[in-house]
Chain A
């Protein structure tokens, strides 16, 4: 007997929560316990009194599962609001990657040229390495990292996605 899995679609959820101990564990635990996917997760406190945090989760699942995820998140006591950014029309997504490339000669020059094309900034350099900072949507970051593999990539750190809806309305 084979275990079946279903194809899904990518959704970006913005969740406002009480900034209290354990809330992140509660949310990630809900995903693991119910078998939902997390592609990326970012969290930071967003209010002046440090009372609220915003969690951005990129997840993947068929539409009914996405609805369930939202309903399940919504009923957690410390959760204030859950927004599916795909629902509200257009939104902006960004992530930052720090990309370390080591090498000399042509590879080093090529890396620098690619960084320029991608508008990645050099934030640290030695004679044999660069650290680039690149900002953009996940696709762009992916493509840049893929190119850097050819140019001596040694290490990558990524923030995961933050996202916000376009226009004047607030969440």
Chain B
């Protein structure tokens, strides 16, 4: 045990916890920590241009590596700017530790300069938070915070550190083993429940796996176990937006994403299944559609690390609380132990194939070189051009996000970074920055909408400063397309404030930041444009002009059942009753 300043303890704890990267922005209340980080030999500090971007970059880092993302910001505006990203991490279960500076303890509560009640503001958008009033507590709290952020259902933890606590000296104590007094999430699944589950799976005639971000959070081994279990049982599999990549998209058992913009086959299969095996997914309203019509014929098994997710929205028949990976391993073992054999699911697959035959992701397009580019085509071309390069894809929020989810095939976890729960425009570009910092040699592409991108576009400076070869591929439809689509479907095409007016010239903007800028206008230019983007070293922004009024289908209108999908524009009526309008 050694006597050192609070700021030195913070940095020492980060080193001891294996942190190599901190995303942050300095200010008065964190200057001692910034001084302790000055020229640090092992911790790289990435200076963002806005604290919100620091949090999303940390999420990108975390989602692409499986390690917690770390953020350092100052008090007051630094902390409040971080709140969106903290909330985003809470909703998508991303492990993150955010260190915020605070005014000195004697000034707390006096409306001091740059004071805000950070623990109060973040109390309900963190998994846990701390205000550290004594430097001796810094060591134990930092270690505990990382434990909480990464164990059980991952999430963001805020540590608010008054400036005098950073300056004062104390003893840096490393707790021997973190055994939290009260926080002991159950990771090991109950053996009886596993045994019941595997019998239900073996007996089902129309089973389907419905998986989510929990499988990604459980690590690559969980994805491997999922593949094995699916192959043992021969059942079809679908996943949420957050779960993409856990199961390879080119496997014949993969039905595509489910839910509001999911495929017809996955939603129909959910509706007609006799058994749903939910793994690390939480029956979100975007997934279930109208609840009283959700999977009426199915028994449901729900595997989740968070007991409060179980029976929250959909009552289930069998609950298994535990880590998704452990539960999948246990199911595989039980399958073998009991000598189960895959049933003949031929009849079920014939029905699934019937739904597949609608080819719900097809879209109308003209094929001549001068034609407008359909946004779906742009995503498919990007996918084709990057095959074999194992790219990391991030997205902003809107139609482009859904098109990316529908048309970009992922075959491994941790390659798909998107804001699912909070749906935060402005997430994708900084998340790409975080992913690129973690994987300097990988191809990292942000598929962006022109509106979302502008929410954190200042990060172009960060990319230039750290010489990151991030690629931004804008599906530029000159509209907040998703808003426009809803206005078209629900408000008789009254396009209130959804036009992306006064857009910057993205190519010139690229030049201003020292990036390469490209513009793609027509179908004939698409392939070459993408090729140039990939082959150009350094950061590239591609302003890909796409058909302006394309809508994202299939779609389950809000308040409708899985079976009431809109498959094409001609199914659209253009109005909706108040009941449906009230649902987002």
Q: What residues make up the interface of A, taking CB atoms closer than 8 Å to B?
A: 1, 17-18, 21-22, 25-26, 29-30, 33, 64, 67-68, 71-72, 74-75, 77-80
Given the known interface contacts A1-B579, A1-B582, A77-B180, the answer about A68 and B120 at a Cβ–Cβ threshold of 8 Å is no
Does B307 reach chain A (CB closer than 8 Å)?
yes
B283 to chain A, nearest CB (A): 13
In the bound complex, do residue B181 and residue A25 qualify as a contact, i.e. CB atoms below 8 Å apart? no
Extra contacts besides A1-B578, A68-B308, A75-B306 (6): CB < 8 Å: A29-B123, A67-B311, A74-B308, A77-B128, A77-B148, A80-B182
Does B312 reach chain A (CB closer than 8 Å)?
yes
Binary per-residue interface labels of chain B (187-217) against chain A in the complex, 1 for a CB within 8 Å, 0 otherwise: 0000000000000000000000000000000
B430 to chain A, nearest CB (A): 27
A59 to chain B, nearest CB (A): 16
Does B163 reach chain A (CB closer than 8 Å)?
no
Chain B interface extent, by class: 20 to 34
In the bound complex, do residue A77 and residue B124 qualify as a contact, i.e. CB atoms below 8 Å apart? no
Chain A residues whose CB sits within 8 angstroms of the CB of B181 once the complex forms: 18, 80
Chain B residues whose CB sits within 8 angstroms of the CB of A17 once the complex forms: 182
Complex CA distance for A18 and B183, rounded to whole angstroms: 11
Q: What residues make up the interface of B, taking CB atoms closer than 8 Å to A?
A: 119-120, 123-124, 127-129, 131, 148, 152-153, 180-183, 185, 306-308, 310-312, 315, 578-579, 582
In the bound complex, do residue A25 and residue B128 qualify as a contact, i.e. CB atoms below 8 Å apart? no
Complex CA distance for A26 and B311, rounded to whole angstroms: 23
Q: Which of A22, A71, A72, A77 contacts B182 (CB 8 A)?
A: A77
Complex CA distance for A21 and B117, rounded to whole angstroms: 13
In the bound complex, do residue B308 and residue A72 qualify as a contact, i.e. CB atoms below 8 Å apart? yes
Q: Residue on B with the closest CB to A80?
A: B182
Complex CA distance for A98 and B519, rounded to whole angstroms: 76
Chain A residues whose CB sits within 8 angstroms of the CB of B127 once the complex forms: 77
In the bound complex, do residue B307 and residue A74 qualify as a contact, i.e. CB atoms below 8 Å apart? yes
Complex CA distance for A80 and B183, rounded to whole angstroms: 8
Chain B residues whose CB sits within 8 angstroms of the CB of A77 once the complex forms: 127-128, 148, 180, 182-183
B240 to chain A, nearest CB (A): 21
Could you say which of B131, B153, B312 has the most chain A C-beta atoms within 10 Å of its C-beta? B312
Chain B residues whose CB sits within 8 angstroms of the CB of A25 once the complex forms: 120, 123
Complex CA distance for A1 and B583, rounded to whole angstroms: 12
In the bound complex, do residue B582 and residue A22 qualify as a contact, i.e. CB atoms below 8 Å apart? no
In the bound complex, do residue A71 and residue B310 qualify as a contact, i.e. CB atoms below 8 Å apart? yes
Chain B residues whose CB sits within 8 angstroms of the CB of A22 once the complex forms: 119-120, 123, 129, 131
In the bound complex, do residue B312 and residue A68 qualify as a contact, i.e. CB atoms below 8 Å apart? yes
Complex CA distance for A78 and B181, rounded to whole angstroms: 8
21 interchain pairs, CB-CB under 8 A: A17-B182, A18-B181, A22-B119, A25-B120, A25-B123, A26-B124, A29-B124, A64-B311, A67-B311, A68-B308, A71-B310, A72-B308, A74-B307, A74-B308, A75-B153, A75-B307, A75-B308, A77-B148, A78-B128, A78-B182, A79-B182
Q: Residue on A with the closest CB to B582?
A: A1
Complex CA distance for A29 and B120, rounded to whole angstroms: 10
Chain B residues whose CB sits within 8 angstroms of the CB of A74 once the complex forms: 307-308
Complex CA distance for A68 and B313, rounded to whole angstroms: 10
Chain B residues whose CB sits within 8 angstroms of the CB of A80 once the complex forms: 181-182
Q: Residue on B with the closest CB to A67?
A: B311
B381 to chain A, nearest CB (A): 44
B302 to chain A, nearest CB (A): 13
* 4 A-B pairs with least C-beta separation: A71-B308, A77-B128, A1-B578, A80-B182
